[in-house]
A and B are shown apart, each in its own frame.
Chain A
Amino acid sequence: GIQVEQSPPDLILQEGANSTLRCNFSDSVNNLQWFHQNPWGQLINLFYIPSGTKQNGRLSATTVATERYSLLYISSSQTTDSGVYFCAVVKANFGNEKLTFGTGTRLTIIP
């Protein structure tokens, strides 16, 4: 199956700092999503970005599908940004909607 690797596994930053989270995947994909998991376990959609660049406020994401990686940028971090960030992909295959998740990046923002 497709492999998804996220780095770094853990990141501790001061409030106000910027961060870059990386997601590498091993095969062509139809879908790539970034999620933030809140303390209660719910996965919050950040970006649906199989290719290209998107921005939403302080967050932006870029996927370079030909080179099989995606980056999530968080600027001017706030304590509410703390949590686990997951990248998930759907391997390019007709009729397949299975999301394969990376192991996540645990982000801790210190006031």
Chain B
Amino acid sequence: KAGVTQTPRYLIKTRGQQVTLSCSPISGHRSVSWYQQTPGQGLQFLFEYFSETQRNKGNFPGRFSGRQFSNSRSEMNVSTLELGDSALYLCASSLQFRTEQYFGPGTRLTVT
């Protein structure tokens, strides 16, 4: 069974631009979560989707948004990029509630 996939793997953007990252969960998994990893803040939760509904949101500004489609694929969008948004963005999927979460390889975003 294929694992969690994320595209693109690497991205370089300019301050003020916007970016969309994509995540395809493991087949059959309905829950998708997004995390940001930076050297200073570690791994932080962004948001979680289940059956196209956002169930939880982390403490990030409104510039960060996401959505989930009927096939469970998810996208996250960051508008008006700032230098501090440079990070590794990780997506995780799980089958249902209270089950093991599996991570994709991540998208490394650099904002210049």
Residue ranges of A at the interface with B (Cβ–Cβ < 8 Å) = 30-31, 33, 35, 40-43, 45, 48, 86, 88, 90, 95-101, 103-104
Chain A residues within an 8 Å CB radius of B8? none
Is B106 interfacial (CB-CB < 8 Å)?
A: yes
Determine the residue in chain A with the shortest Cβ distance to B48: A97
Is B12 interfacial (CB-CB < 8 Å)?
A: no
CB of A93, distance to nearest CB on chain B (Å)? 10
Residue ranges of B at the interface with A (Cβ–Cβ < 8 Å) = 31, 33, 35, 37, 42-43, 45, 48, 50, 55-56, 58, 88, 90, 92, 94, 97-106, 108
> B101 touches which one: A41, A97, A100, A104 (CB < 8 A)?
A97
Q: Quick one: given A33-B101, A41-B37, A43-B90, are A98 and B45 in contact (CB under 8 Å)?
A: yes
Chain A residues within an 8 Å CB radius of B101? 31, 33, 97, 99
Main secondary structure of the interface of B (DSSP, over half): strand
Cβ-defined contact, A42 with B48, below 8 A: no
> A42 touches which one: B45, B97, B100, B104 (CB < 8 A)?
B104
Chain A residues within an 8 Å CB radius of B48? 97-98
Q: Quick one: given A86-B43, A104-B42, are A95 and B55 in contact (CB under 8 Å)?
A: yes
**Residue of A30, A43, A104 with highest tally of chain B CB at under 10 A:** A43
Chain A residues within an 8 Å CB radius of B88? 41
Cβ-defined contact, A48 with B100, below 8 A: yes
What is the bound-complex CA distance between A51 and B33, given in angstroms?
Answer: 23
